[in-house]
């Protein structure tokens, strides 16, 4: 006969930590702790705790600098007198050897800590010059460009794609649905979990993942097409270039890349000013995409302009005196005020 052991209840560490923190705050407020006690405890912890116990970069670097000096004078104290004598004799005969090694290690450790300090300053400068990570949450409400005008274009472009077609970011999966209805083997990547799960429940092959991370996991030369939208309009320039590199590398011979962008002008006008100003990135001009795809060995088709890019200002009739000059100025003014609007860039990898 065996007695079943009752499993011990799981310990809620978060609750325990919260209770300890609350008790510390209460006792600090009532004056139970002597003045300077917490500072003494912090100093003692810093003395005996490993450097990795701190999350402050400057504290860890200062600790590393203090530990970078290697002492050559080996301690010889011992409870046994003969052993202490032996240690002193060994230190005397090996002093030249130990000091040589200590000097080499100390020089190396000093150079490393100095290099890390310089690197830390450069990282601080980069963090000051770029948008911090938490600000990226401000642009998650942006649904990207309206894909409705581009469905027919994308379906026709990838009809003969030599492999699977990836749409990133896929959103609710409207483009993936259109491609599947036309017989194209397509799937999508959507970083927003709720949106991706909703599309997946609708029966679409939509995977919740980071776009760049997914493309890095895709082997080279296996995709028939890559459609980029949404993510390319709000990511930092370095990530956009990395996305472009991976999208081109993942293409099979005869594959194509389709870039669907809201355009700088339409993007800025359609967003809240705070979101537009604090976004880590912004859409590129179509000429920039033509250059990026061309230098990566792709043949780029003429840029397709989306609705709203032209025709806002009424042209002057040709019979009007000076109509050519007036219409040219009107087109220039229209580009400055209202454009460039949404556009599509299609580029093919030679077979």
Q: What are 11-20's pLDDT values in tens digits?
A: 677 777 778 7
- Mean pLDDT (the chain) is 80
In a shared domain, residues 119 and 149: no
pLDDT, average across residues 55-83: 76
Rounded average pLDDT over 262-283: 75
pLDDT of residue 171 exceeding 50: yes
What is the distance between the alpha carbons of residues 60 and 69, in angstroms, rounded to a whole number?
Answer: 15
Residues 153 and 235 in one domain: yes
CB atoms near residue 291 (< 10 Å): 13
Task: Give yes or no: residues 118 and 211 share one domain.
Answer: no
Note the pLDDT of residue 233.
87
Pair (121, 177) in one structural domain: no
Top-confidence residue, 220 or 91 = 220
CA dihedral for 195, 196, 199, 201, sign (positive or negative) = negative
Tokens in use for 303?
């840029």
pLDDT: is 21 or 189 the higher one? 189
Whether residue 279 has pLDDT greater than 90: no
Residue 198 has pLDDT above 90, yes or no: no
Alpha carbon distance 162, 256 (integer Å): 9
Does some domain include residue 8? Answer: no
Residues 264 and 165 placed together within one structural domain of the fold:
yes
Distance of alpha carbon 21 from alpha carbon 281, whole angstroms: 40
Residue 108, pLDDT > 80, answer: yes
| The pLDDT value given to residue 263 | 84
Predicted confidence (pLDDT) per residue in 310-351, tens digit: 556 677 788 888 878 877 887 777 666 665 678 999 999 998
Percent of the chain with pLDDT over 70: 78
Q: β-strand 206-208 against 223-229: which pairing, if any?
A: unpaired
CB–CB of 232/245 below 8 Å?
Answer: no
**Cis amide bond preceding 340, omega within 30:** yes
Please check whether residues 268 and 303 belong to one and the same domain: yes
| CATH classification of the domain holding 299 | 3.40.50.150
Mean pLDDT of 109-119: 87
Name the pLDDT band for 201 (thresholds 50, 70, 90).
confident
Q: Is the pLDDT of residue 215 over 70?
A: yes
C-alpha 347/C-alpha 259 separation (Å) is 9
Q: Is the pLDDT of residue 136 over 60?
A: no
* Domain edge (last residue) among 103, 130, 157: 130
- What does the pLDDT average to over 156-175? 92
Residue 249, pLDDT score = 95
**CB-based burial, 75-94: b 16+ in 10 Å, e otherwise:** eeeeeeeeeeeeeeeeeeee
Q: What is the pLDDT of residue 185?
A: 93
In the structure, what pLDDT confidence band is assigned to residue 141 with cuts at 50, 70 and 90?
A: very low
C-beta separation of 186 from 176 below 8 A: yes
Q: Reply yes or no on whether the pLDDT at 275 is more than 80.
A: no
Residue 51: the pLDDT is 56
Task: Please check whether residue 289 lies inside any domain of the structure.
Answer: yes
- From 67, 102, 130, give the residue that closes a domain: 130
- Return the sign of the alpha-carbon dihedral for residues 189, 193, 199, 203: positive
pLDDT of residue 139: 46
Closest by CA to 345, choosing from 276, 263, 236, is: 263
Q: Which of 100, 130, 160 is the last residue of a domain?
A: 130
Q: In the predicted model, what is the mean pLDDT of residues 252-276? A: 82
DSSP 292-320: HHHTTTPEEPPPEE-TTSS--SPPPPTTS
Residue 341: inside a domain, yes or no?
Answer: yes
pLDDT on residue 128: 66
Given a cut of 60, whether residue 142 has pLDDT beyond it is: no
Residue 212 class from Cβ within 10 Å (0-12 exposed, 13-18 middle, 19+ buried)? buried
pLDDT tens sequence across 24-46: 777 766 666 665 566 666 666 66
Please say if the pLDDT value at position 235 is more than 70: yes
How many distinct structural domains can be found in the chain?
Answer: 2
Q: Can you give the pLDDT at residue 184? A: 93
Give me the domain span that covers residue 159: 140-311+332-348
């Amino acid at each position: 006969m065996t007695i079943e052991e009752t499993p011990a209840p799981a310990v809620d560490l978060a609750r325990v930590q919260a209770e300890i923190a609350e008790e510390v705050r209460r006792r600090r407020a009532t004056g139970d702790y002597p003045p300077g006690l917490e500072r003494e405890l912090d100093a003692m912890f810093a003395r005996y705790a490993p450097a990795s116990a701190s999350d402050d970069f400057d504290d860890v670097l200062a600790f590393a600098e203090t530990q970078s000096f290697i002492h050559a004078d080996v301690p010889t104290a011992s409870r046994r007198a003969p052993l202490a004598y032996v240690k002193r004799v060994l230190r005397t005969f090996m002093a030249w050897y130990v000091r040589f090694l200590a000097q080499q290690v100390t020089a190396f450790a000093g150079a490393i800590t100095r290099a890390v300090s310089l690197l830390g300053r450069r990282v601080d400068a980069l963090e000051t010059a770029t948008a911090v990570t938490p600000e990226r949450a401000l642009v998650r409400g942006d649904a990207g460009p309206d894909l409705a005008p581009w469905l027919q274009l994308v379906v026709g472009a990838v009809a003969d794609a030599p492999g699977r077609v990836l749409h990133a970011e896929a959103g609710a999966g409207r483009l993936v649905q259109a491609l599947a209805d036309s017989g194209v083997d397509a799937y999508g990547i959507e970083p927003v979990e709720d949106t991706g799960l909703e599309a997946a429940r609708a029966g679409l092959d939509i995977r919740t993942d980071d776009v760049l991370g997914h493309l890095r996991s895709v082997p080279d030369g296996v995709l028939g097409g890559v459609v980029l939208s949404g993510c390319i309009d709000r990511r930092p320039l370095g990530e956009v270039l990395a996305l472009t590199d991976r999208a081109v590398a993942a293409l099979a011979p005869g594959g194509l890349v389709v870039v669907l962008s809201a355009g700088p002008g339409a993007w800025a006008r359609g967003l809240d000013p705070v979101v537009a100003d604090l976004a880590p990135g912004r859409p590129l001009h179509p000429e920039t995409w033509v250059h990026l795809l061309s230098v990566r060995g792709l043949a780029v088709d003429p840029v397709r302009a989306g609705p709203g890019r032209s025709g806002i200002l009424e042209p002057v009739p040709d019979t009007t005196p000076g109509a050519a000059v007036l219409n040219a100025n009107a087109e220039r003014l229209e580009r400055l005020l209202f454009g460039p609007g949404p556009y599509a860039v299609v580029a093919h990898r030679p077979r």
